Structure 1
C-alpha cells in the first residue's frame, strides 16, 4: 500500500481551538438569536400581555444587568418562587447570562423544605411571587440566611403580601438592556440548581451546566417537532427540571410561549383555541383533568395538539379521551438528574393499525434514548452488563451523556454512588423489549409520584414517626385514578394506643406539604424479613388490593 504521506497527529498539529472556531454552548444564545432574527414576533403571551422577542430579550438583559449591578456574578445563586409567568421565563435567561446559578423553587413545597433549600443553595437573591408569600415568609423565618427579597407583584395573583423592599419591575429598571455579557466562559459552568426528593428526607441539589441545557433543549425541539410556528402552552411547571428545558427549547425554535398561572381546563381549552396552541406538556394528572373536564368547558379546536407526558403512563381510557378531543399523546421518560426527558416512546407507523389497548401498551413504554443522549441502557446493576432484550429480564436503567447532571451539590458520596461504573444509575427497574424499547417495571428508590410530584417515602415516614402514638410506619405508593399514585401509610401503634385514620392524616398535614400527606392509613403489624427489615413489596401489593 502506498504511503499516504499523512503523519500521526497531522490533523491536530497547529489546528487549535480559538475564539473564531469554538464557543461555549449555552441556551442563552437561543434568545439572542431569536431577538435578532424575529424581533417583532410574539414571544410570550400572558393574559393581555404580549412580548415580542425584542422585548423579551431586552427585559432579560435588564434583569441580568440589575443583578450584576448589585454585585452578583459567576457562581452566585438566585432563587425564584414563581408560577409559569413572564418573570420566571426571563430569569431562565438573565441569571445564566450574568454567570449566576438559577434555583427554581417548587411552589408546592412546605416552609421547612424551602428553608433548607435556601440555606443549602446559599441563595443571595430571592425573587418571589406575592401569591406564595405565606410559605416564603415562614421559610425565611426558619432559615439562617437572609437573601435580598424581590417581589413579583402580579395583578393576576390571588392574595398574598409583599415581603421585600423592591418589586420585580423596579429591579428591572435598575438594569440596562444595552449591557454586554460574556458568560459563560466555559460550557461546563453551572447554570441551574434544582432539588429532587431522592430517597431521603432532605432533598438533593442537582446541578446543571450550560452544555447540557443547550443540548437537551435541542433534543426537545427535534423530538417534539417544535418550529417557528409552534405555540407552546405552559401546563408543565417551569420549576420541574427548568420546565424539562422547554424554557429554552421553545425559544430555540423561535416559537411562542403561552404562560399559564394555574392548570384549569376552563382556561386551557379557550387558550388552545384562541392562541392556536400546538404543543404542551404535563404529568398524567393534567391529561386526566382535561379528559374528564365538564363538557361545558371542552371547547373544540381545528388542529391537533401534541401533548407530551412523563412519569406513570396515562390509562388507555385517558389516551382515548384525549385523542377524541384532538390531542396526540407522546410519552417521555427522564429525571431531574437528566435535565428532564431522556427517552421518548418514538412512534412507529404500524402502531396505528393496533386496537386501543395494544396501542396504549406500546405508547406507555419509556422508549428509546433522545438524539442528544449518548446512551440509555437496561443493565444488571451488579455486573453492569446489559440485560437481554426479551421483555422479561429486569435490570436498572442507566444513562450516559452530555445531558446528565454535573452531580449533587455538596454531596460527593451521593454523586459517586449515582455515577458508579461511569453510568448514571436511575434507580428505575425496567426491561428491554426485542425492538430495543425500554419499559419501566418498578422504582427501586421507593419514590411515590403523585400528580407529577416526587414524594420521598422516608420523609413521610419521618413525619409519621413523630406522632406520639406511632411505633412503626412504612409508606408506599397506592394507585390513584386522579393523581396516578398517592402515599399509603401502614402504621403500627404503640401498645395500648388507639387512633383513627383522620387523626394521623391531620397530624401529617401539620408536618408536610399537602401533596405529601397520606390519603390512606392502614393500622396493624408490618411484614418483616428474618433480619427485621420491613418488606415494602408486600405492602405495595396490599395497597393495590385495598
Structure 2
C-alpha cells in the first residue's frame, strides 16, 4: 500500500471535527490537563546566566498550576474581570509565564516587548487600557525602571503594578498600588478556579502588539479557541519527539516563543528550559547552546534564521549531539544554503514553518515524515485553508493556478479575532473570513506553500517588523528631500537591514551623512534607523508613475553582496534581479573560479538565491 500524500493525510484527519478531536478549549484547560497528567514532571527549568555550572531553578507542573491559580486570584483581588487587561513587561522568566497564563484565566494578557522605546510601550498600554502591569521594578536606576515611571505618569487606566524586585523605590502616584509579585501571590489560594470563573473558548485570551517596532501599534485579538487549537495541532506535529526537553531562548512577547515553543510543550508535559532572561541576546546562550542541548538531551528546538547563522559560526567542541535531530525555524525567510549547511554540519533536519501573530503563530508546517523542496514551508495546518489569489479592490478576482504566484490568504480556527482598533481591520479581510497575510507565494500540486516576497513592504530585521513609512516620513521631514523610499537590504546577520534612497532638491548642499544624522535624530526606534542613505537622481517608476521598488531592492542587494566580497578581497561582478516565483536572485561572475566555495560560505546566510552561471574569462 502506497504512502498517502500530505493532502490525503490532512483530509483523513479532518474527517473528525477539530472540536471533537481537541479536548482543551482554553489555555487554562491546557494547564489543568498538564497538572493532571504530569504533576511531578519539571515544567520549567530556568537559567539566569547560562553558564555551564549553573543549577537551574525548576518548577513542576503541579507547582506551576498552583502558582498560576494564586496569580489569577491576586488579579481577581485587584478587580480584574474578563475584559480587563494585564500587561506584562518582563524578560524571559518563570514569573513571565505565571503572569501571562494567569491573566488569561481571569482577564486578557498583553505581553509587551520591554525593549521598545517608552513612547511606543505607552501607546500600546493606552490602546489596550491596561489595568495591571507586571514588571521587574520601578527602580529609576535601571533602564526598565525609568520606563515604568514614564508609564505611571502617562497611562491613566493603570491601577496596580506587580514587581519582582521588592526594593522598588517610591512613586508619587497615590492612585496606584505597588505589590511584590511573589509576596502577593503567596497569600492567595492555589486551588483550581471554580468553573464559573474559568474562561470560555470564545473569550479573548491575549492582546499581542504587531505591525512592527515602529509606528502606531496594531493590537491583535487572539481568543482561547485560537490559541488552544494551534497548541494542540502543533503538539500533535511534534509528538514523535517524545518528552524531550526544549531549549527556548525566543522572547516571551512573541507568538513563536509563547505559543509554539512554550504552551505546546507544556501541553504534552515537556520541560521548557528558559535560556536566560535575555534569550539569544545573552552571549552565553549561543556560546553554551550545544552544551545545554547535550545536558538536557534536546532532540528539537525552535529558532530563527539569524541564530542558525550564528550557531554555524560557533567553533567545534567535543560535545556529543546524537540526541539532536530537528530544528524548527520561523519568524523570517530561511535561505536555502543556510538550511542545507546547518543540516549537514549538525546531521539534523531543519524545517521552515510559516506563521504570524494573526494566525496565532502557525499558518503552515512541514508534516512529520514528509519533505519539501527548497525553502517551502509545508502545507496549511489541518482544518485551515490557504490559497494564492489575485485581488482586485480587495476582492478575489480568481484563485491562482498551481505554482502561479499570488497573494496568500488564510482562514481557519487559527485566524485571530481581528484588530482591537476597527480602523486596522480595513483591508485586512477579504470577502468576510479570508485574512490577507500581505505575503506573496506559490502553492504546488502537493499543497506546499513557498513564499516569494511581500505585498506589504515591511522590513524584517532579525524577525522584527519595521514599517518603512516611518523612515520615509522622517526623511521627507528634511527640508531638502523631495522623495524617499526605505527598503530591506539583505544582511547575513539580520536577514534584512533598513536602508533608504532619496531624491533631493540640491545635491550640492545635502550629503548622505547629513541625512543619516537626520534619521538618527528623528527616528526614536533604534532598529528602524537606516544603516545607510543613498541619494539618487530619480526613482524607477511603473507605467502609472509609482515607485518600482524591485529595482531598488536589486540595487540594495548588489550593494550588500559587493561590499561583502570586497571586504574579503574577492573580485566579482554582481547582478541581482527579483523573480516572483523564486524571490531575490543574485548572479555572480567571478574572476577566479576557485573563489566560488569561499563566496558560497560568505553568502550562506543571505536571504537570496545565488547563481554562478557565468564566469569572467
1:358-410 CA distance string (max 9 Å, x none):
x7xx1411221112x42111122233532111x2x221111111110000002
Structure 2 portions without partners, runs of 5+: 1-21, 48-55, 172-176, 560-617
Task: Tell me which of 307, 319, 331 is aligned to 2:352.
Answer: 331
Please list, as runs of the form range in 1=range in 2, the aligned pairs for 1:268-307 lying within 5 A after superposition.
268-295=289-316, 299-307=319-327
Q: CA deviation at 1:172?
A: 1.6
Task: Tell me which of 432, 437, 460 is aligned to 1:426.
Answer: 437
User: Does the 8 Å contact 1:505/1:518 carry over to 2?
Assistant: no
Please list, as runs of the form range in 1=range in 2, the aligned pairs for 1:404-443 lying within 5 A after superposition.
404-411=415-422, 413-421=423-431, 422-443=433-454
Please list, as runs of the form range in 1=range in 2, the aligned pairs for 1:44-443 lying within 5 A after superposition.
44-47=44-47, 48-98=56-106, 100-130=107-137, 132-141=144-153, 143-153=155-165, 165-178=178-191, 180-182=193-195, 183-197=197-211, 201-225=215-239, 229-241=243-255, 243=257, 245-246=259-260, 247-260=262-275, 261=277, 262-263=279-280, 264-295=285-316, 299-310=319-330, 311-346=332-367, 362-371=373-382, 373-382=383-392, 383-389=396-402, 391=403, 393-411=404-422, 413-421=423-431, 422-443=433-454
Comparing 334-343 with 270-279, which one deviates more in the overlay?
A: 270-279
Change (3 A) 1:147 1:282: farther
Change (3 A) 1:169 1:203: same
CA distance, structure 2, for counterparts of residue 24 and residue 301 of structure 1: 35
User: Does the 8 Å contact 2:67/2:185 carry over to 1?
Assistant: yes
CA distance, structure 2, for counterparts of residue 279 and residue 315 of structure 1: 20
CA distance, structure 2, for counterparts of residue 293 and residue 506 of structure 1: 37
Comparing 253-262 with 503-512, which one deviates more in the overlay?
A: 503-512
Q: CA deviation at 1:77?
A: 0.6
CA distance, structure 2, for counterparts of residue 239 and residue 502 of structure 1: 36
CA distance, structure 2, for counterparts of residue 489 and residue 144 of structure 1: 38
SS at match of 2:410: strand
User: Does the 8 Å contact 2:365/2:377 carry over to 1?
Assistant: yes
CA distance, structure 2, for counterparts of residue 407 and residue 211 of structure 1: 14
TM-score in terms of structure 1 length: 0.85
CA distance, structure 1, for counterparts of residue 287 and residue 328 of structure 2: 20
Comparing 54-63 with 511-520, which one deviates more in the overlay?
A: 511-520
Q: Which residue of 2 aligns with 1:497?
A: 509
1:210-250 CA distance string (max 9 Å, x none):
11111000111112336661311112222112635123211
Please tell me the root mean square deviation across aligned C-alpha atoms, in Å. Answer: 2.8
Q: CA deviation at 1:96?
A: 1.4
Q: Which residue of 2 aligns with 1:17?
A: none
User: Does the 8 Å contact 2:458/2:468 carry over to 1?
Assistant: yes
User: Does the 8 Å contact 2:26/2:200 carry over to 1?
Assistant: no
CA distance, structure 2, for counterparts of residue 280 and residue 223 of structure 1: 14
TM-score in terms of structure 2 length: 0.76
SS at match of 2:30: helix
User: Does the 8 Å contact 2:96/2:252 carry over to 1?
Assistant: yes
CA distance, structure 2, for counterparts of residue 274 and residue 199 of structure 1: 35
CA distance, structure 1, for counterparts of residue 426 and residue 523 of structure 2: 31
Q: CA deviation at 1:188?
A: 1.0
User: Does the 8 Å contact 1:44/1:257 carry over to 2?
Assistant: yes
Q: CA deviation at 1:432?
A: 1.7
CA distance, structure 2, for counterparts of residue 257 and residue 348 of structure 1: 24
Comparing 195-204 with 254-263, which one deviates more in the overlay?
A: 195-204
SS at match of 1:424: strand
SS at match of 1:462: helix
User: Does the 8 Å contact 1:505/1:519 carry over to 2?
Assistant: no
CA distance, structure 1, for counterparts of residue 350 and residue 488 of structure 2: 25
Change (3 A) 1:78 1:454: same
Q: Which residue of 1 aligns with 2:576?
A: none
Q: CA deviation at 1:326?
A: 4.6
CA distance, structure 2, for counterparts of residue 317 and residue 537 of structure 1: 24
CA distance, structure 2, for counterparts of residue 70 and residue 348 of structure 1: 49
CA distance, structure 2, for counterparts of residue 442 and residue 54 of structure 1: 45
Comparing 514-523 with 473-482, which one deviates more in the overlay?
A: 514-523
Q: Which residue of 2 aligns with 1:26?
A: 26
Count residues in correspondence: 505
Structure 1 portions without partners, runs of 5+: 1-21, 352-358
